[in-house]
Amino acid sequence: MTKKVIKLTRGVPPAESFPVAQLKECATAVLEKYADVVLQYGPSRGFPLLRSAIAGDIDGVSDDQVIIGQG
């Protein structure tokens, strides 16, 4: 009987767990519509439309209360 080793040194999810087709579709849509914005440095508080979308999903939260960091 061979023992299986579970490596806990880093997280390496299996490649098939990534939704590649959906990511490609989203990236294409964003680049077609907002390439001039998303390929540049953005506002320090984050992309305004994304901040607005996030705030819209949380009751009682305004755009000004959402900050998106990079990294």
pLDDT at 10: 76
What parts of the chain have a pLDDT lower than 70? 1, 71
How confident is the model at residue 59, as a pLDDT?
95
**pLDDT digit string (tens) for 13-33?**
888 889 999 999 999 999 999
Contacts of 39 by beta carbon, 8 Å cutoff, 6+ apart: 31
Give the domain ranges of the chain: 41-71
Please report the pLDDT score of residue 11 as a whole number: 77
pLDDT at 71: 66
The predicted structure's pLDDT at residue 28: 98
**What is residue 33's predicted lDDT score, i.e. its pLDDT?**
95
From the number of C-beta atoms within 10 Å of its C-beta (0-12, 13-18, 19+), residue 20 rates as exposed
